[in-house]
Amino acid sequence: MTIYLLLNSEKLGPIVYRLGQLVFILQRGVRFPLGPPPNYLLMKYKISIIVPFYNSEKYLRKNFKTLFKIQKKITNAEIIYIDNNSIDNSYKFIKEKIVNLENIRLFKTLKKKGQGPGIGRNLGVKMSIGEYILFLDADDSLEIKNFKKLINFLSKNNSNIVYLKKKSDVNSAPFLEYNKKKLIMYFTKSSTHEVISILFKKEFLIKNKIFFLSKIYEDIFYLFKCHFFNNIKISYFSKVIYYKHFNKNSITNANPSLFRLKCKFYAWKNIDKFVRKNLNKPLYNKLTHSIQYWWRGHLTYEFINIQKSSLYKAEKKPLISWIVKNYRKHIYMKFEIITVKDKLTKFLLEQKN
C-alpha cells in the first residue's frame, strides 16, 4: 500500500513546520511505502546551506569539494543545490556526486518562475529542513574548521539574523543593525546589500513572507525586509566562515547595462514603496530628508560607475539618459548643495534628455 502526501507545508501551521522531518514530503509529494520513512525525512538540521547555480560546472567542482567535507564532518547541516535550468553539465555533475548522500539534495527551478539566483533561493528555502538558512554562491566557499564552533554558537543563540565573518577578494560594505524603528541609518550610511555570509532563521522568513523577486540585485530588497521586520538583536559570529571570491564573469561584476541598471533601480524603488506602505504618513515624512539623500546618492553612484566603465562614449550616453530620466522622478529638485556629489546631482537633474 502506498500513500501520496501532496499538501503545502506553508499552510499547515507552526506545529507541522516544527516537525521538520515532514517538510520534504509535504512540499514535493514524495511517494514511499507505508512504514518508516527514509532517514533524511526524520532529520532537522541546524543549518541549510543553499547553493543556486546556472551554468556553473567550472566553479561547482571546487564548491562541492568543500561542501562534501562539511557534510561528512557536520551532521547538523544539510546542503541544497538548486539548478536554475543550466544548459551545461552542472546539473549532471551534482546529480552524479550526491548519489547515496542523504544530507545533500538537488532540485531544479521551473522555467515559468523566471531566472536569477533569487528564484533558486526561494525554492531552496521552501525545500529546506534546517532552522537557519545560509545562501552560498556557486563560485564561493566556506571555512570548514569553524563550522562546529558556529553550530555551538547557534545553539546558545536565538537571533533571526546572524552575520558571519567574511573574507573577500574585494572590499565590501559593513552591516548595520537597523530595523523598522531605526531606518535613518539605512538611508544615510553605507551598508551591505548581499545576503551571502548571513544566517536567516527560516521560521522568521516564513512568518514575515520574505522571499526573493526574480532578475538580479534581488538581494537588496530581500535583506532590507529582513532587517525591517526583525525586532530582536542581530548576532555576529567573529570567526571566518565565508570566502567571497571575485568572479569577473559574474553578472554583477560586468560592465553597466540597461538591464542591470533597471534591476538595481527597481530594487531601490521597491524599498521606497515598501516603506511608504508599511509606515504611517507622519513616520514616513520624518524619513523624507534621509530617503532623498539616499536617492541622490544612488543616482551619482550609477553615473560615476557608467563613466568609469570600459564602454564606448556612444554606449554610455543612453545609459546615462535612462538613469537621469528615471531617478529624477524620485528626487526633489530643491535640496541644499553641500558636497561635490550634490553639485553633480544638481547638474544631472538639470540635463535635458
Q: What is the pLDDT of residues 29-69, one digit of tens each?
A: 333 333 334 444 444 899 999 999 999 999 999 999 999 99
> Can you point out the beta strands (E) in the chain?
2-4, 31-33, 45-53, 77-83, 104-108, 130-135, 141-142, 161-168, 198-201, 235-244
pLDDT for the residue 114: 66
Nearest to 81 by CA among 243, 96, 73, 72: 96
Domain 43-251 fold? Spore Coat Polysaccharide Biosynthesis Protein SpsA; Chain A (3.90.550)
Percent of the chain with pLDDT over 90: 74
CA 165, 166, 167, 172 torsion-angle sign? negative
Rounded Cα distance, 292 and 225, in Å: 19
Per-residue model confidence as pLDDT tens digits over 299-312: 999 999 999 999 99
pTM of the model as a whole: 0.86
Name the CA radius of gyration of the chain, rounded: 22
Cα first-last separation, the chain:
70
Residue that has been written with the C-alpha cell 541622490 in this structure: 296
Domain boundaries, given as residue ranges, for the chain: 1-39, 43-251, 255-349
Q: What are the phi and psi torsion angles at 262 (to 5°)?
A: -65, -45
Average pLDDT of the residues of the chain: 86
